[in-house]
Chains A and B, each alone.
Chain A
Amino acid sequence: DAKTTQPTSMDCAEGRAANLPCNHSTISGNEYVYWYRQIHSQGPQYIIHGLKNNETNEMASLIITEDRKSSTLILPHATLRDTAVYYCIVRVHGSGNTGKLIFGQGTTLQVKP
């Protein structure tokens, strides 16, 4: 699975959009980009994933560049409850895949009033 690079920490004002970048320059054609987050002391929570098209769900949007070497997770209206560590992970889907996730250090997002 490809390695990812994320900033160590970011701040965001409450109510504003939080844009969390992730570099995955060695991503393979069959690897998906996943985002999870971990609120203090809790188990990680799935947010969103995508292959090459932009994706949106009730929690966030995922923008993947055309060359797929980087992506951005967007929380459109950040709240204090979005303060967490955000992990960007790339991995393969499909039969024979064991579903293992390789976690890096992630980005600590601090949403401020």
Chain B
Amino acid sequence: NAGVTQTPKFRILKIGQSMTLQCTQDMNHNYMYWYRQDPGMGLKLIYYSVGAGITDKGEVPNGYNVSRSTTEDFPLRLELAAPSQTSVYFCASSSGLAGTDTQYFGPGTRLTVL
């Protein structure tokens, strides 16, 4: 199993540009999450999904959109990039089963908005 994969690894955007961060997991996990991590800080939850077709907002959803059309994929969309969105983005997944809901994280996407 590859686990949780994220693309791209690095990206530089100009203010106002759009992009989609890709996240795929091959563990057949129901739950998926997007976090962002600013320098020297802990992770903050952006959006999450408990299954295909179901998404919900986390702590910091403004400026982002998500979709979950399949169990495997959970893309994160930035519509109008702003310098405040410069961060490292982590995708994670978990089975969602009670007592075994450890989260597995991807390697991250480092985004700079100039």
Q: Which chain B residues numbered 67 to 106 have a C-beta less than 8 Å away from chain A? A: 88, 90, 92, 94, 96, 98-99, 101-106
CA distance A77 to B67 in the complex (A): 43
Query: Are A93 and B42 touching (Cβ within 8 A)?
Result: no
A43 interfacial contact with B, CB 8 Å = yes
**Chain B nearest CB: distance from A19 CB in Å?**
21
Dominant SS among interface residues on chain B: strand
State which residues 73-105 of A face B: CB under 8 Å: 87, 93-95, 97-105
A45 within 8 A of B: yes
Q: What is the total number of residues of chain B having a CB less than 8 Å from a CB of chain A?
A: 29
Q: Which residues of B have CB within 8 Å of A49?
A: 102
CB-nearest residue of chain A relative to B59? A102
Q: How many A-B residue pairs have CB under 8 A?
A: 60
Report if A43-B48 is in contact (Cβ < 8 Å); known contacts: A95-B98, A105-B41.
no
The reply to whether A99 and B94 contact each other, CB–CB distance below 8 Å, is yes
Q: Range of interface residues on chain A?
A: 20 to 34
- In whole angstroms, how far apart are the Cα atoms of A95 and B103 in the complex? 16
Q: How far is the CB of B107 from chain A (nearest CB, A)?
A: 6
Given A98-B48, A100-B45, A104-B42: A46 and B104 interface contact (C-beta under 8 Å): yes
Are A99 and B90 within 8 A (Cβ)?
no
- Answer whether A103 and B48 are a contact pair too, CB < 8 Å, given A43-B108, A45-B105, A95-B98: no
Are B104 and A98 closer than 8 Å at their CB atoms?
A: no
Q: A42-B108, A46-B104 given as contacts; is B41 within 8 A of A98 (CB)?
A: no
12 contacts between A and B (CB under 8 A): A42-B107, A43-B90, A43-B107, A44-B92, A44-B105, A46-B102, A46-B103, A93-B101, A98-B48, A100-B45, A101-B43, A103-B42
Question: Chain B interface (Cβ within 8 Å of chain A)?
Answer: 4, 31, 33, 35, 41-45, 48, 50, 56, 58-59, 88, 90, 92, 94, 96, 98-99, 101-108
Taking A43-B90, A97-B101, A105-B42 as known contacts, 18 extra A-B pairs with beta carbons closer than 8 A to each other, sorted by chain A number, are A41-B88, A41-B108, A43-B105, A43-B108, A44-B105, A45-B105, A87-B42, A93-B99, A93-B101, A95-B98, A99-B94, A99-B96, A99-B101, A100-B45, A100-B48, A100-B58, A101-B103, A103-B42
